[in-house]
Amino acid sequence: MPLMYAGNPREAADQVAALEKAGLDTVWVAEAYGFDSPTLMGYLAAKTDTIEIASGILNVYSRTPGALLQTAAGLDNVSGGRAVLGLGASGPQVIEGFHGMPYDKPLGRTREVIRLVRSGLRREPLTSEGIFSLPLPADQGLGLGKPLKILTRPERDTIPIYVAALGEKNVAMTAEVADGWLPFLFLPEKADEVWGAALAKGAAKRDASLAPLEISTGGMVCIGDDVQPMLDLARPMYALYVGGMGARGKNFYFDLACSYGFEEEATKIQELYLAGHKKDAEAAVPTAWLEAGNLVGPEGYVKDRIEAFRAAGVTNLQVMPATQDPAATIAQLKEWVA
């Protein structure tokens, strides 16, 4: 379940303990350009006992590979081995517009961060040639280019690493080297058409020592006969990403909508959103996409949606309960997906 909050993440985090008792397996803590993810994950570690605590996602630009290693190892320690490291390149809007860093070489950076974190968890010295230049060359700084290994002993020598990816090359890289894949705004019936070739290409290069790729995604959940209007709650998020997460020609989510067959609608959403007409952009989000990408409707329909996600290869279903009793909803879904 993605940790959803509106202004005060502590209040949302305090509800996770009840959801854990109801059967929730994993909580994903987003970062974007709001509160940082590691602080909330550490807070959750102290509030829970069994649930996996995952970053969803930490970008590979604003922290060094060493810092990401420290975060993963530290969270795994305080949670007693329940950490999941979700990584991603994010996008130019966040990396350049919030962190003030150039958005370059996203695939190379992600691949090398994964290698370095895995190496670091085994307490091997951090060395890299190319993108990160670790250790620092002797002709820079103080010239102390001696590679170091993590000072403390990690709870585990391996932590699951998931990657948020949408583009063909990024998805192929994820299928090759990551433990799991985090596709966003997922439409199950279009998954094979959009990503099947990339997933197969990456899987063909996958190291035999890695387990099969996990896929974690899902959507909002509301079960009932008259709940379809609840889909409107998802419209602002879809409109934000398709319309506002990047300029024209530099928006991965706009491209995703087009690959699903919603090019006309995506163009309208983007034009309206960038012109400041956010409510109109939200209204332009295709209802068919909302219906297929979420689990909102009568019991039979929701069960059908669960099977659609399963058929698309999803192994870990993420859910966002939009109900008065989220714990009861989690418990009900737990029975259906078992």
pLDDT in tens, the chain (338 residues): 999 776 788 888 889 999 999 999 999 999 989 899 999 999 999 999 999 999 999 999 999 999 999 999 999 999 999 999 999 999 998 999 999 999 999 999 999 999 999 999 999 999 987 888 787 666 555 555 688 999 999 999 999 999 999 999 999 999 999 999 999 999 999 999 999 999 999 999 999 999 999 999 999 999 999 999 999 999 999 999 999 998 899 899 999 999 999 999 999 999 999 999 999 999 999 999 999 999 999 999 999 999 999 999 999 999 999 999 999 999 999 999 87
- Long-range CB contacts (within 8 A, 24+) of 89-94: 89/59, 89/60, 89/61, 89/170, 90/32, 90/57, 90/59, 90/61, 91/245, 91/246, 91/250, 91/251, 91/252, 92/246, 92/247, 92/250, 93/244, 93/245, 93/246, 94/32, 94/33, 94/59
* Any domain includes 291: no
- Amino acid 145 reads G
The SS3 call for residue 10 is helix
pLDDT value for 140: 57
Number of domains making up the chain: 1
CA proximity to 147, closest of 116, 108, 112, 111: 116
Domain with residue 89: its CATH number is: 3.20.20.30
* Any domain includes 289: no
- Taken in order 304, 2, 11, 278, is the CA torsion positive or negative? negative
The SS3 call for residue 63 is coil
Q: 181: domain range?
A: 9-221+299-337
Cβ contacts of 98 within 8 Å, gap of 6 or more:
33
* Any domain includes 31: yes
The pTM assigned to this predicted structure is 0.95
* Any domain includes 204: yes
* Any domain includes 173: yes
* Any domain includes 304: yes
* Any domain includes 92: yes
CA proximity to 217, closest of 83, 82, 312, 94: 312
